[in-house]
C-alpha cells in the first residue's frame, strides 16, 4: 500500500535527520568548537565568549532532549503507522478535490505533536539540506531557565525576539518554495507526488550519511 510505504520512508527520513544532528551537529558544540554566533541574528547583538559557551551548552542539551523525544515518537509511528497513513490519504483526497481543506486539516491537526516528529529537511530543487531544528525552542522551560541564568533581561529579550524572527523567516521561505519542514504543517499533496518527495529526501540523506561515513573512515585511516 503506497500510503504505508510513504509513512515508513518518512519515519526513516526523520530518523536519519536525528542521527545527522546527533553525530555531526552536536559534537562540535560539545567541544566548544562551534559556538553560537549571536551577531548573525543582528550585528548589534553581542555576547562575550563565556555567554556564547553557555548558549552552546544549552543548545546542545536542548537538541539532545528533542532528539530523544522525537525518536520515541518515531518508533511509535513505526509500530502503528495507521494514523499517519490516514493523514496522507486525506491529503491525497483533498488535493484531488474529493474532500474539503477543513476536513483534511482537522485530521492532520488531530495528530499534532506526532506529525511534528516527521521531518522533511531536504530541498529537492536545490539538492541540499535545509537548516535542522524545527519547533519553538522557547517552549522548553529547561532551556528558558538556562537562558535566564546566562543572559541579562535585555539580552534575553533581544535573543528571543531575534531568534523567533529568524525561525519565522525560515518557515516563510520554505512555504514560498512549497517546502514544509514538518508534517504537522504539510499541505494537501497527492500521494504519488508525496512518495516522490519523501523518496527523494531519503536518497539525499542516505548519500549525505554515506559521504560522512567515508570521510570519517579516511580520517581514521590517516591517523
For 71-97, how does the pLDDT look when each residue is reduced to its tens digit (9 = 90+)? Answer: 999 999 999 999 999 999 999 999 999
What is the CB-side half-sphere exposure of residue 203 using CA atoms within 13 A? 9
Stretch (H or E) spanning 112: none
Q: What pLDDT is recorded for position 193?
A: 92
In a domain, 15, yes or no: yes
Percent of the chain with pLDDT over 70: 86
Number of domains in the chain: 1
Does residue 189 lie within any of the structural domains? yes
The Cα 122–Cα 130 span in angstroms is: 6
Alpha helices in the chain (DSSP H): 2-20, 26-30, 49-79, 82-95, 101-111, 113-116, 141-150, 153-176, 191-221
Grid cell, residue 157, equals 529579550
In a domain, 139, yes or no: yes
In a domain, 118, yes or no: yes
Overall pTM > 0.85: no
**Domain assignment present for 219:** no
Positive/negative CA dihedral, 169, 174, 177, 183: negative
Total residue count of the chain as it appears in this document: 223
Q: Which three cell numbers stand for residue 212?
A: 560522512
Task: Report yes or no: 106 and 132 within 8 Å, Cβ to Cβ.
Answer: no
Instruction: Look at residue 37 and tell me if it is in a domain.
Output: yes
User: What pLDDT does 195 receive?
Assistant: 94
Question: Cα(221)–Cα(223) distance, rounded to whole angstroms?
Answer: 6
pLDDT of 223 strictly over 60: yes
**Mean per-residue pLDDT of the chain:** 85
pLDDT in tens, 25-71: 777 776 665 566 776 778 888 888 899 888 888 988 888 888 889 99
Residue 96, pLDDT score? 96
What's the confidence (pLDDT) of residue 35?
A: 63
Residue 222 resides in a domain: no
Q: What interhelical angle do 2-20 and 82-95 show, nearest 10?
A: 110
With 0-12 / 13-18 / 19 or more C-beta atoms within 10 angstroms meaning exposed / middle / buried, residue 131 is: exposed
In a domain, 216, yes or no: no
Higher pLDDT, 90 or 216: 90
pLDDT tens digits for 157-183? 999 998 888 888 877 777 777 677 789
Domain of residue 169, residue span: 2-210
Amino acid at each position: 500500500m503506497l500510503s504505508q510505504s510513504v509513512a515508513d520512508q518518512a519515519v526513516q527520513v526523520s530518523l536519519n535527520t536525528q542521527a545527522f544532528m546527533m553525530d555531526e551537529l552536536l559534537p562540535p558544540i560539545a567541544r566548544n568548537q562551534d559556538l553560537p554566533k549571536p551577531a548573525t541574528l543582528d550585528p548589534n547583538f553581542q555576547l562575550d565568549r563565556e555567554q556564547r559557551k553557555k548558549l552552546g551548552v544549552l543548545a546542545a542539551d536542548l537538541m539532545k532532549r528533542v532528539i530523544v523525544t522525537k525518536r520515541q515518537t518515531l518508533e511509535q509511528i513505526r509500530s502503528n503507522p495507521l494514523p499517519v497513513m490516514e493523514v496522507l490519504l486525506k491529503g491525497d483526497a483533498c488535493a484531488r478535490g474529493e474532500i474539503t481543506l477543513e476536513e483534511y486539516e482537522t485530521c492532520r491537526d488531530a495528530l499534532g505533536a506526532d506529525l511534528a516528529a516527521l521531518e522533511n529537511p531536504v530541498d529537492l530543487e536545490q539538492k541540499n539540506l535545509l537548516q535542522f531544528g524545527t519547533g519553538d525552542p522557547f517552549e522548553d522551560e529547561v532551556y528558558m531557565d538556562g537562558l535566564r541564568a546566562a543572559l541579562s533581561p535585555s539580552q534575553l529579550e533581544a535573543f528571543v525576539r531575534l531568534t523567533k524572527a529568524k525561525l519565522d523567516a525560515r518557515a516563510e521561505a520554505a512555504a514560498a518554495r512549497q517546502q514544509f519542514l514538518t508534517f504537522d504543517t504539510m499541505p494537501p499533496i497527492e500521494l504519488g507526488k508525496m512518495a516522490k518527495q519523501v523518496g527523494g529526501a531519503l536518497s539525499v540523506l542516505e548519500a549525505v550519511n554515506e559521504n560522512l561515513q567515508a570521510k570519517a573512515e579516511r580520517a581514521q585511516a590517516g591517523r
